[in-house]
Amino acid sequence: MKIENLELVNEKYSIFSSFVEGVEADAQFTFSAKDSLVARGFEATAGSMILKGYMPPFDATSIRKMREAGGFLLGKTNMDEFGFGTFSVNSAFGIPKNPFDIRRSCGGSSGGSACAAAVFDDHVSLGVSTGGSIACPASFCGVYGLTPSYGRVSRYGLIDYGNSLDKVGLLSFRASDLKKYLPIISGVDDHDPTSAVQPDLKLGRKKLKSVAIPREALEGSISKDVLKYFEESIEILKGMSVDVEYVSMPVLKYSIPAYYVIATAEASTNLARYCGMRYGQQEGDLTAKFDDYFSSFRSRYLGVEAKRRILLGTYARMAGYADRYYYKAIRVRGAIITDYKKHFERFDAVMTPTMPFVSPKFDDISLMSALDSYKADFLTVPPNIAGMPHLSVPCVSSEGMPIGLLFTSAHWDEDVLIDIAEKWDSAFDVRHADVRI
């Protein structure tokens, strides 16, 4: 769809939390950005009512670089509150709807970004991944989703979920956009020390020749349809002269509990700054004691999932429990990284399905428990907790719905993923959503 009638498009798909009508005449390209990335001229809420009204005075580094390259920021996309979710249903400003079936989820937490990439022609969107928040919506919306190595893209200007996990990446319907825009947003940034030690991005250096498939990743609750099309995708890879081998990575089964301990511990610390006195909402009884003001304000403006993760994270890092949970989770993360590195000595990439099922309907999501939603991320969490670059490519559809295939490469080896995207794009006819207004 051409970029026009954004108000009507947004009424149907709830892509944006805020947007502008009309594109500047001298714009070389358009892009959108997840609402956890701050931008001048746009409200930044991270999907939370507690930040409503916050107008940042600067651009996130990734947005600044896109603008300097000639890009026009179309709008800020809807997301799960602070990135807390798998289906983008935890947003205070609208739940994005899947362009293939509006009764279904776009995935989360970068759901609006994936929807924008699927709906608009010649459009790229910036997403943010903590435990799979780029790959999951890319899979559900039938687009390419690239999550770079941790530190490859500056996090400056990002409203953080988990500081040691968050990564800014790209979503687009076109594989060629990944190669075009990754160099633009990458690079060392003096504002972000985690970007200081990265090697230069060099594309075209490595090609995909071999792939490892962890047996343990296929032993989870994966739907028959996803397994069927995953196996067909393996044959497509073999047709590309790529060696495919099944391997054992038993440590992967510990990734979900380790991730939720680390992520929620960091989130509970990050969200402490939202106390109703500096950002966004500031309507409260200033005569109250600070603890009373703080508690009543957060109780009123934070969503259920945000409160759940704050409580879990605070508990995990309390004195007496940190050794039992948080530091043990850190050791598990180290074991996961070691296991990946061992396999990257022989293989160029590790491959799994992206999500264990096609995008679920909102009625089915409403019946899921919080634990059910957390478990749905068991394929996307391992590369995220390891900080390794990964790519979701659109696979064949089941009953008209997209399925994703996830490739993970070694730290700083994004060039392998770009090669995969280009090869996949030439071998597989990616189906575009039938968007109508």
CA dihedral 383, 230, 247, 375 (to 10 degrees): 50
Measure the CA–CA gap between 144 and 134, rounded to whole angstroms: 9
Tokens representing residue 24 in the block: 């500047």
Among the listed residues 105, 133, 186, 255, the single catalytic one is 133
Residues 294/222, Cβ–Cβ less than 8 Å: no
> CA 415 to CA 407: how far, in whole Å?
12
Which residue, chain included where needed, has tokens 């966004």? 280
Cα separation, 14 vs 93, in Å, equals: 9
48 is catalytic: no
Question: Is there a catalytic annotation at residue 109?
Answer: yes
CA-based nearest residue to 128, from 143, 105, 147, 151: 147
Q: Can you read off the two tokens belonging to residue 355?
A: 């999500």
Active site residue 133: yes
What is the C-alpha radius of gyration for the chain, rounded to an integer number of angstroms? 20
Give how far Cα 355 sits from Cα of 108, 127, 394, Å. Answer: 11, 17, 11
34 closest CA partner among 51, 49, 15: 15
Catalytic residue among 14, 17, 34, 113: 34
Whether the ω angle into residue 109 lies within 30 degrees of 0, i.e. cis, is yes
Choosing from 109, 113, 195, 373, which is the catalytic residue? 109
Measured N-to-C along each axis, helices 176-185 and 61-68 cross at an angle, to the nearest 10 degrees, of 110
**Residues taking part in catalysis:** 34, 109, 133
